[in-house]
Structure 1
Amino acid sequence: MKYFYFITMLFVSTAALATSPVDLEINMKNTGLAYKNAVQATNIDAFNVAINEFIALVEKSKTAKFHKQPEQSLQGLDKVLEQAQLAKQVANQQGLAAAKPALKNIDNLRKKYHKLHEPPGFFELLFGK
C-alpha cells in the first residue's frame, strides 16, 4: 500500500509540474544567461552545453501564455530556435567562429520581438494607443 501511495503522489506531482504555467520573465532571464554562455564559450563542449540549455529554455517559453500578439511571439521563438539549431550545427561542423553569425541573428531577433512585450508607457496607459 505504501508503494501505491508513493507512485500515486509521484504521478500527481509530475502532472502538476507539467501543467504549471511558465514564469516567462524568469525563463527569459535564464535563456539570456544560456545565450551569453554560448556566445562566450571557448570550446565546443561548453558551447554545446550552453546552446542545448538555450534551446530547451526557448522550447519551454513556447508553452507560456502570451497576452499580446501570441502568434507573432511564437513565430519569433520559432525563428530563434532555427538560428540556435543552425549555430549548433555550424559550430560542430566548422568551429565556434563559424557559429557567430547565427548567434548574432538570435540577438537581432530578440531585439525585434521583445518590442511586442514591452510594458505600456505612461501616456499609452493614460490615453490608450
Structure 2
Amino acid sequence: MSKTYAVFNGDGLFQHMLFKGVHTIPKGAVEISDELSVRILQEPDSIWRIDETGAITATDPESIPPTREQIEALRLRSYADPLTGSDRYFAEAQRMQVMNEPGWEAVRAAGVARFEAIQAQYPWTSDDGAL
C-alpha cells in the first residue's frame, strides 16, 4: 500500500487524508499507518485530533458539549422556523392586534409556549456558557 498522510488544521483537527503518488504531500502532513487510515475511514463521524506530542486520537462528537453560541444558533433557527417556530405566532398576534381582530391573546400565548418549549429543547445551565 502507498504511504498515507493526514493533514490537520492549526487547532489539531483532522482535515483530510492524502496518498503519496496520488496527491502532492504538503509540508506539515503527518504520515499515518495503514491501520489508522482504515480506522479514520471506518469512523467518519469521529472527530480526529493530533496533540502536541503527535498522538492522533478520536473523539465521539456526542461527547463534546455544544457551546453557548451553538445553542443560541439552534434556538434562533428554531424560533424562526416558518412551520414550527415561535416567531410566526408573535407576528400573527401582532398583526391581529393592530387590525383589531379578536383572539390575538391566544395566538400570543401559543407563541410564548412554543418559545419556552424551544428553550427547554436547547437548554444551558449557567451564564458562563458551560452546560
Q: Do both proteins adopt the same fold according to a TM-score greater than 0.5, normalized to the shorter chain? A: no
Query: Whose radius of gyration is greater, 1 or 2?
Result: 2
Q: Which has more strand, going by share of residues?
A: 2
- TM-score per shorter chain, which class? 0.3 to 0.5
Larger RCO (CA within 8 A; separation ≥ 6): 1
Q: Which has more helix, going by share of residues?
A: 1
